Structure 1
Amino acid sequence: YHAPSQTLSPSLSPHTLPSHSSSSIVVVIIISPLHLLPQTLPALIRPYTWLPENSLHSTLRSRRATTMSAASSRLGNLVPVHSAAAENVSGGTNGSASNINAAAATTATEDEEALGGKYQLPPPEIRDIVDAPPLPALSFSPHRDKILFLKRRALPPLSDLAKPEEKLAGMRIDGKCNARSRMSFYTGIGIHQLMPDGTLGPEKEIRGFPEGSKINFVTWSVDGRHLAFSIRGDDEDGSSSKLSVWVANVESGQARPLFQSADIYVNAVFDNFVWVDNSTLLVSTIPTSRRDPPKKPLVPSGPKIQSNELKNVVQVRTFQDLLKDEYDADLFDYYATSQLVLVSLDDGTVKEIGPPAVYTSMDPSPDQKYILISSIHRPYSFIVEVWTTEGKFVRELCDLPLAEDIPIASNSVRKGMRSINWRADKPSMLYWAETQDGGDAKVEVSPRDIVYTQPAEPLEGEQPEILHKLDLRYGGISWCDDSLALVYESWYKTRRTRTWVISPGSKDASPRILFDRSSEDVYSDPGSPMLRRTPAGTYIIAKIKKENDEGTYLLLNGNGATPEGNIPFLDLFDINTGSKERVWESDKEKYYEHVVALMSDYNEGDLYLDRLKILTSKESKTENTQYYIQSWPDKKASQITNFPHPYPQLASLQKEMIRYQRKDGVQLTATLYLPPGYDPSKDGPLPCLVWSYPGEFKSKDAAGQKQQLRKLFDVGKIAVGGHSYGAFMTANLLAHAPHLFCCGVARSGAYNRTLTPFGFQNEDRTLWEATTTYVEMSPFMSANKIKKPILLIHGEEDNNPGTLTMQSDRFFNALKGHGALCRLVILPYESHGYAARESIMHVLWETDRWLQKYCIPNTSSVDPEHDAAKEEASKEVTNSPSQPVAASGGGGGPEMAHIDLEVSYSPQRSFL
């Protein structure tokens, strides 16, 4: 007990305690401010006893019970309280002690598994699905004649996540291997030759590196003759070793270390390595002169100070793991500083280029003569420079200050040069964008962005050339040649997106708009141009020719949204007339197919339609994704993979699209999954789990074109759940539409929007600009309205902006403070998305247990108001525009009806 302004009462002084007695013994622990101890305690501390009937006994017992009750309520947030207050030895009970006894008795009746604090496993049916081996990743050689199968393991163990990590500058760094922590990896590399008939030759394993190595950053050389990759292992203490670079000969499959010296390692905090040419790699390495990391001082040299005495307007969202003090900055510089080196595959020579610095990216020019180098320096300005591939400094493009003053409005950007890149169709031509509105999307100005271009080494006095002016926000360029490039711009607030056709090599050609549409109008989406690989390893727009036709054609690859679902397509598009010819389309009945890449783009020269080859993927409700090569003119398809179904137990799962119309007219859609063999006429209604992530639409028409929902449910057994913003949705629905749902599962959500005052999700107004919205959208403010069971799950190390772990912790306390039926599960070492096998299994166990307990049984046993709520729900859905269409067999079971999930809750603008 701590009372800063009080001393201990004389009546509680040890000097006044009764003389020795054997009837009872108590240990008195007095916790007091240090400055009070000399005045209130004798020099000699010894055990005291008292008689049961002594008044002091009752006073101390009462105060102790009150303190224990308060303490146990706090501890109860983390672990169950298994011990009750001490008995009154005279046979009576104190009110507070009785409450604690009752709480302990209630706790003792709970499942030990549910309260034991140990990781649990879901039923075997679920475990088998989670533990299914993952399919390999595929990578095609530059000449499209070989395929890499990059093999992966299943879920990582929790011990991988438990390794120490440094949280610096918005990143999490594994200090032992000097790379981002929690990196996934490959366990092996297999190479298959792609035969002329489209089949695969036998697998050749890349060999020569230590068994059990963790493989990352696998890249082809430009000519496809070599692979470069990094490997790491585990040290004796279980931590990861540093990353070393290896190269493999593709023909032989033999791998070897890149560096002849064993003490040169990759610094993979930012960029790692890149091919400069077919026999040279540019590698970001840990400086060999680096010593031990800086030690955190036991005593700080001063207070932590933040200042804004210049009155800058700095509105920053709740980013995590930022640098907090000088020690953090020193530690960040220690791990992020690298030395760039050029390494020859031919003779192994190593040449250092440039001084050690915090290099963030390195990008060789297509002609392999220059390197675009990005770095940062204190006070963390962003520098972009041009070097030669020999390491000679050419020029500085920009030195931009720390970008902490970017407005929070959507489409706001930093000032100065941004998106600096090489033109993919030119040897060494740079291009970039610069804002004309100061980076503030709320400023009305025309043009809003300008795109510039300039050679790597401009002539003396040569100024950047204006390539294109944009009234919306710049979104990138697809290059083809001097006669054709596509420039993209968009504006989030209006959902407007435009595509321009420009001729970069002609000052006389006027830009023209090719497409001008709403990003929400997916029915009108024309698709994206297919790209081809150049001899330099860059990608440009693939121009297609037809025999005896002088037209200029592109291949547009689209999703093909329709009222019946997506039907991907490939259109031959005349860039001059806008006419289209559909040259390929997915199967509409049994299969879902889409185009992955061009396979005939490795040859120099023109691409002809009648010699086209494409890579497609194909899957069905019951068949796993397989890859095919289709060849023109007959479009013959050759299957090149034969992956087994990863979840054979789900092969006959029923899946269909269901639609409904929200009461305000918005049409929505969802995917319905039903058990294998389910027959509603025989099996009756099923419990339903609605799992969702909210989206936002500017217009009802656009939303209606892609989303509708309508199906039969058991009205009394509908659970709702979601992750992140879906958790926020779940809590809001339980607060504002409780009659529609029996329980909820909310994972890694944010529930108090006043803790994210400078915007969240798509809300770009601040708390002070839209106070009512922030408050009314916060489930935390409606915790007193949540009466249905809610399960909260959160990663203990959540670094996602806005969803700090304390959001779930405080929401749980608010719920508990109003007597809600709730449960909070905090997953050690997990971030916003859960990674470890133990965590994922436990989350599924918790979810399964929650649904079994509060959704599948007769839910009226959970909430005495449930029957009335169910009747109310039935009335609501019966009176809604969606009328009931079926009932369970014989009419004796629960009612099945169309449900309007928005009957009683009209969310705010941002919560759509």
Structure 2
Amino acid sequence: MKNLTLLLISCFICFGTSLAQEKLGYQKPPNEILELVEAPLAPSVLIDSKGENVVLLYRDAYKSIDELSETELRLGGLRINPKTNIASRTNYYNNIKVKKASDSEATQITGLPAQARLSNFSRSPNEKMIACLNTTSTGAEVWVVDIEKAAAKRITSAQVNANIGDPINWFKDNKRMLVKMLPPNKKELINTAEAVPDGPTISVSTGEKAQNRTYQDLLKNPNDEFNFEQLALSTIKEVNLEGQVKDFLPTDMYRSISFSPDGEYVLISKLKKPFSYIVTYYRFPFEEIVYNTEGEKIAVVNDVPLNEVQPKGFMATRTGKRRMAWRSDMPASLYWVEALDGGDPENMVPYRDVVFQQDAPFNTEPKEIFRSINRMSGITWGNATTAIAYDYWWNDRNTKTYLFNPSDPTQKPIKIHDRNYQDRYSDPGDFVTTKNSLGTYTLDMNGNKVYLMGEGYSEEGQFPFVDEFDLATQQTERVYQSTYTDKLESLNSAIDMKSGKILVRIESQNEYPNYYFRNIYKDNALTPVTSFENPFESIADVHKEVITYQREDGLELQGTLYLPVDYDLTEKEKKPMILWAYPREFKDKNSASQNTSNPNEFIYPYYGSPIYWVTQGYVVLDDAAFPIVGEGDEEPNDSFRTQLVANAKAAIDAVYELGYI
């Protein structure tokens, strides 16, 4: 008996071992899911400012196992492929086609590289060409696509450095570009897994309190510092369309490159040491320098020290010049923002920020042009006497919009919007811009009239709109509003507001999104631009609806409900359910209860979507509202868990009461 027992134990061990050593490949989902995953994606659509030429960019829905297996270094907040010198999470396109907006068929671009991996697309100023990167097994190279000729060609070797982004910038003449290239003296990276440290890692504390968030991918030691520097170093080259290369600037840690609207100057930002082990690279020291188009230094316009220590709070910021950029309505004028409260939201001051301007050649005193009550968030430039400024304050979710005269700071700005930015029902929309004579985008002005495009959420549903805004009277008149109740119309951009031509996208639950030109002044006529077919026909007839329900405290919530494929609504068989939700913080119940789910959105099983599971007999409640509200002096985190549970209970109870689970 003992021998039999030992024999059985031995057999069990051998059997268990054979199972443990069995080689398993990657598993595939059921065919119904696999069919959706492998469905070809419709292309991304690029349309020029005149609405004439359409560029279609094609890509695979998911990366290959080979791509996911490529080396990744995480340094200073960057995730880099050190072999190809480009961000490791880059989404690549593998084909390009072009067409006239009025044509039904697209033309294949000839000359593209085999096994193309295209990214970092950059239009030429005249919009007749597009430069992009193609990433090979050894590095990234610049290619140029001639839209009229439908042809592509390579103009550099695979030596581009795209690790910190912004690798390609066009000159105004449409014939040359500035390209970040790998320096000839780049050193080999240290293998940190094998390297023996020369000494301890030392951090120096000055005794100041640093209220920093938790950042990923920080530098940890001198080896990381060395590798980060080598990956950040580049030389800037001038490259023409024939592939001829000239030196522009020597090796340095260049961050961003920006030409002035008139093309006569270049604003270049470059990182400096010391690096940090507690913040990411965008808070490392940096300089901003203006050069002319020959690469000669004109002026150092900003010098920012290491920014490790800031006051506490979401609205805290550093002191000194920040958000420096070119005025889009002027040939060569820089503007920037500075904090008036020391960057500390606890300091009570009448104005938080001030905006300064300095004109070329950047050797005169900057002039103040605007002050904001909250923290500045942006400016839409119009002309010498007209601009729109925006600010916001996270603590109370307030945002203000101002009309101001940048040429006369003594003229009091007019506050045209003052609202809760989480209140989607009161959103006035975004001001429409158009391409000006400098090739940059400014307010689309028709005399004293400008325009706003809005998403149009309301208690009755979503009805996007175009409003005309009178700068003199600050009165608004609605000139177009979508009337669809069985489709979703999205207002993409204005092509020509004077004639009423705008670019829209229209979709329904089973109608794939397509682009059209709509003329809002001529019977709202539609002209098709694209005609993409639905690649997900197997779930086209899935039942979808937006359900509304109440939390136990009376707060109204909503979610998008999908029933399984071929579900019989008359039988109402109970099924298992998958619920997807993401908690969002609000400062008032009114905003938290607003319905921004549209039942007419196309049923699209995107990456990570639970919608795939309707093919396997599951009910899906997608994007269920999970608001976490903290009104007045209360913060959302004060009752986070209680509200989280209440949201989940309300969602599950609502579907249960409908009889589906």
- Post-superposition Cα deviations, 1:165-214, rounded to whole Å, max 9, x if no partner, equal 222111121111111113211111111022xxxx3254222222432121
Quickly say closer, same or farther: Cα 1:476–1:883, change in 2 above 3 A: closer
| Aligned partner of residue 228 in structure 2, secondary structure | helix
Structure 1 residue corresponding to 2:517, chosen from 629, 636, 645: 629
Structure 2 residue corresponding to 1:509, chosen from 393, 396, 411: 411
The answer to whether 1:369 aligns with 2:264 is yes
How far did 1:340 drift?
0.6
Alignment of 1:127-276 (within 5 A): 127-194=34-101, 199-200=102-103, 202-233=105-136, 240-259=137-156, 262=157, 264-276=159-171
Say if 1:569 and 1:594, in contact at 8 Å, map to a contact too. no
Q: Distance in 2 between matches of 1:444 and 1:251?
A: 57
Alignment of 1:478-557 (within 5 A): 478-544=380-446, 552-557=448-453
What is the match of residue 305 of structure 2?
A: 401
What is the match of residue 425 of structure 1?
A: 329
What is the match of residue 334 of structure 1?
A: 230
Say if 2:122 and 2:130, in contact at 8 Å, map to a contact too. yes
One-letter amino acid matched to 2:554: G
Quickly say closer, same or farther: Cα 1:146–1:322, change in 2 above 3 A: same
What is the match of residue 867 of structure 1?
A: none
Say if 1:693 and 1:723, in contact at 8 Å, map to a contact too. no
Q: Distance in 1 between matches of 2:522 and 2:69?
A: 55
- Post-superposition Cα deviations, 1:549-570, rounded to whole Å, max 9, x if no partner, equal xxx2222111111123321111
One-letter amino acid matched to 2:295: G
How far did 1:676 drift?
5.0
Quickly say closer, same or farther: Cα 1:321–1:400, change in 2 above 3 A: same
The answer to whether 1:698 aligns with 2:600 is no
* Count of residue pairs the alignment pairs up: 614
How far did 1:429 drift?
0.6
Say if 1:660 and 1:708, in contact at 8 Å, map to a contact too. no
Say if 2:562 and 2:620, in contact at 8 Å, map to a contact too. no
What is the match of residue 659 of structure 1?
A: 548
Q: Distance in 2 between matches of 1:884 and 1:281?
A: 60
What is the match of residue 673 of structure 1?
A: 562
The answer to whether 1:441 aligns with 2:337 is no
Say if 2:358 and 2:366, in contact at 8 Å, map to a contact too. yes
How far did 1:291 drift?
4.6
Say if 1:263 and 1:288, in contact at 8 Å, map to a contact too. no
Q: Distance in 2 between matches of 1:130 and 1:535?
A: 45
Q: Distance in 2 between matches of 1:457 and 1:886?
A: 69
Say if 2:562 and 2:619, in contact at 8 Å, map to a contact too. no
Say if 1:143 and 1:224, in contact at 8 Å, map to a contact too. no
Quickly say closer, same or farther: Cα 1:352–1:338, change in 2 above 3 A: same
One-letter amino acid matched to 1:253: A
Q: Distance in 1 between matches of 2:467 and 2:24?
A: 57
Quickly say closer, same or farther: Cα 1:317–1:527, change in 2 above 3 A: same
How far did 1:420 drift?
0.5
Quickly say closer, same or farther: Cα 1:640–1:281, change in 2 above 3 A: same
What is the match of residue 729 of structure 1?
A: none
Alignment of 1:808-827 (within 5 A): none
Q: Distance in 2 between matches of 1:414 and 1:141?
A: 38
Say if 1:430 and 1:453, in contact at 8 Å, map to a contact too. yes
Q: Distance in 1 between matches of 2:543 and 2:428?
A: 31
Alignment of 1:713-862 (within 5 A): none
What is the match of residue 493 of structure 2?
A: 597
Q: Distance in 1 between matches of 2:619 and 2:575?
A: 15
- Post-superposition Cα deviations, 1:569-609, rounded to whole Å, max 9, x if no partner, equal 11122233233332222233211101111122xxxxxx52x
The answer to whether 1:392 aligns with 2:311 is no
Quickly say closer, same or farther: Cα 1:121–1:90, change in 2 above 3 A: closer
What is the match of residue 803 of structure 1?
A: none
Q: Distance in 1 between matches of 2:187 and 2:196?
A: 23
- Post-superposition Cα deviations, 1:227-269, rounded to whole Å, max 9, x if no partner, equal 2122122xxxxxx22111122332222322224xx47534443
Q: Distance in 1 between matches of 2:585 and 2:187?
A: 51
Quickly say closer, same or farther: Cα 1:744–1:437, change in 2 above 3 A: farther
Quickly say closer, same or farther: Cα 1:327–1:399, change in 2 above 3 A: same
Structure 1 residue corresponding to 2:500, chosen from 612, 623, 627: 612
Quickly say closer, same or farther: Cα 1:743–1:402, change in 2 above 3 A: farther
- Post-superposition Cα deviations, 1:874-908, rounded to whole Å, max 9, x if no partner, equal 9x97xxxx9997769xxxxxxx7xxxxxxxxxxxx
How far did 1:160 drift?
1.0
Q: Distance in 2 between matches of 1:669 and 1:244?
A: 48
Structure 2 residue corresponding to 1:359, chosen from 254, 264, 267: 254
Structure 2 residue corresponding to 1:121, chosen from 25, 28, 33: 28
What is the match of residue 901 of structure 1?
A: none
Quickly say closer, same or farther: Cα 1:886–1:690, change in 2 above 3 A: closer
Say if 1:367 and 1:428, in contact at 8 Å, map to a contact too. yes
Q: Distance in 1 between matches of 2:32 and 2:620?
A: 22
Say if 1:142 and 1:220, in contact at 8 Å, map to a contact too. no
Say if 1:150 and 1:188, in contact at 8 Å, map to a contact too. yes
What is the match of residue 217 of structure 2?
A: 321
Q: Which has the higher helix share?
A: 1
How far did 1:626 drift?
0.8
Q: Distance in 1 between matches of 2:629 and 2:438?
A: 40
Q: Distance in 2 between matches of 1:254 and 1:467?
A: 46
Q: Distance in 1 between matches of 2:507 and 2:314?
A: 37
- Unaligned runs of 5+ residues in structure 1 are 1-86, 93-100, 234-239, 546-551, 601-606, 710-721, 727-741, 746-760, 764-769, 783-872, 889-895, 897-912
One-letter amino acid matched to 2:555: V
Say if 1:618 and 1:626, in contact at 8 Å, map to a contact too. yes
Say if 2:382 and 2:443, in contact at 8 Å, map to a contact too. yes
| Aligned partner of residue 227 in structure 2, secondary structure | helix
One-letter amino acid matched to 2:307: A
- Aligned-residue identity in percent: 30
What is the match of residue 302 of structure 1?
A: 199
How far did 1:91 drift?
8.1
Say if 2:289 and 2:302, in contact at 8 Å, map to a contact too. yes
| Aligned partner of residue 584 in structure 1, secondary structure | strand
Quickly say closer, same or farther: Cα 1:744–1:704, change in 2 above 3 A: closer
Quickly say closer, same or farther: Cα 1:652–1:353, change in 2 above 3 A: same
Quickly say closer, same or farther: Cα 1:686–1:562, change in 2 above 3 A: farther
One-letter amino acid matched to 2:513: T
Q: Distance in 1 between matches of 2:454 and 2:619?
A: 39
Q: Distance in 2 between matches of 1:677 and 1:294?
A: 57
| Aligned partner of residue 335 in structure 2, secondary structure | strand
TM-score by length of 2: 0.85
Q: Distance in 2 between matches of 1:244 and 1:708?
A: 42
| Aligned partner of residue 682 in structure 1, secondary structure | coil
What is the match of residue 311 of structure 1?
A: 207
Say if 1:670 and 1:707, in contact at 8 Å, map to a contact too. no
TM-score by length of 1: 0.62
Q: Distance in 1 between matches of 2:4 and 2:548?
A: 68
